[in-house]
Structure 1
């Protein structure tokens, strides 16, 4: 069984909430909000696998091996 990613589940929940806000059918809106909550609860315990390593800072402190920025 494949596990869906956190980003995917969060995006789907956001879309359901957006649809819930735009519909005039209160029953449909309630069902969409409930489904969005289910997706969010599935996404919460998942690790943020889609976040790669952090990029190094562009502006680094001048150290002994780096020339001064002046």
Structure 2
């Protein structure tokens, strides 16, 4: 699944291309695609809601960290 930030950035780029082209048909298609991407991005959460990394506990002794 694509993230909200990615979809929003892509929509912004399409709108920029649409403003810079002199082809009105292409501009309309780019604007339409940007609207599609925005509608996909809107319901997504603002931040990545992926799994959190596990908590790691280090045991520290007076001689330094222990491991192994």
Deviation at 1:49, TM superposition (A): 1.5
Please, what is the CA RMSD of the aligned residues?
0.7
| Aligned-partner Cα distance in 1 for 2:47–2:2 | 11
The count of residues paired between Structure 1 and Structure 2 equals 48
* TM, length-normalised to structure 2: 0.69
- Pair 1:20 & 2:18 matched: yes
| Aligned-partner Cα distance in 1 for 2:27–2:43 | 26
Unaligned runs of 5+ in 1: 51-70
Q: Which has the larger radius of gyration?
A: 2
Unaligned runs of 5+ in 2: 49-68
Runs of 4 or more above 2 Å deviation:
none
